[in-house]
């Protein structure tokens, strides 16, 4: 929320006549103070995800018996392992971490909203959770329909 607040402050100053010399250093320092932690967290997040992915690929290949390698083409096997691991990487890096971040930010926003005006929090938070709950149900319904359509298409029906 800090970058959004900084942008809001910057736009207000621009609309009121522009940024004077003393405020430029304020915005430069605050922008760097926001960007540096973002880059550090993203760096660790990226490395942790793909290091774990490499460990997963090796451990998966080590668990397969040697007879399995004789029966399968090595290119098919590598493609299968890499495809499955790539799917897990995408899920971990894009969905699971984004979910964790959204839960943390929603909790912080809820706390701030209660501190600002508890009456507003009593209306906004239940509506937000209801939208989330029902959108998950709707997504599940359409995902089920999509899978049914793909199965029907593949089977030639």
What rounded mean pLDDT belongs to the chain? Answer: 78
Do 100 and 126 sit in the same domain of this protein? no
Residue-level pLDDT at 156: 66
Do 137 and 109 sit in the same domain of this protein? no
Domain carrying residue 65: 2-116
User: Model confidence over 94-106: pLDDT tens digits?
Assistant: 777 777 777 787 7
Do 9 and 62 sit in the same domain of this protein? yes
User: Model confidence over 42-70: pLDDT tens digits?
Assistant: 888 777 777 777 787 778 777 777 776 67
Domain count, the chain: 2
Do 90 and 156 sit in the same domain of this protein? no
Do 65 and 106 sit in the same domain of this protein? yes
CA–CA separation, 14 vs 27, rounded Å? 12
Do 101 and 150 sit in the same domain of this protein? no
CA–CA separation, 52 vs 83, rounded Å? 15
pLDDT band at 108 (very low <50, low <70, confident <90, very high): confident
Do 112 and 123 sit in the same domain of this protein? no
What HEC string does 1-16 produce? CHHHHHHHHHHHHHHC
User: Model confidence over 4-46: pLDDT tens digits?
Assistant: 888 888 888 888 887 777 778 888 888 889 889 989 988 887 7
């Amino acid at each position: 929320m800090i970058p959004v607040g900084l942008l809001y402050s910057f736009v207000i100053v621009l609309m009121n006549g522009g940024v004077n010399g003393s405020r430029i250093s304020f915005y430069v320092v605050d922008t760097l103070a926001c960007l540096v932690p973002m880059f550090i967290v993203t760096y660790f997040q990226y490395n942790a995800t793909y290091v774990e992915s490499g460990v997963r690929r090796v451990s998966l290949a080590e668990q397969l018996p040697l007879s399995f390698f004789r029966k399968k083409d090595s290119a098919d096997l590598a493609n299968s392992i890499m495809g499955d691991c790539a799917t897990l990487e995408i899920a971990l890096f894009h969905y699971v971490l984004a979910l964790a971040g959204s839960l943390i930010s929603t909790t912080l926003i809820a706390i701030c909203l209660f501190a600002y005006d508890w009456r507003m929090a009593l209306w906004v938070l239940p509506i937000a959770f209801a939208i989330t709950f029902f959108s998950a149900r709707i997504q599940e319904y359409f995902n089920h329909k999509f899978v049914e359509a793909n199965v029907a298409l593949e089977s030639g029906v």
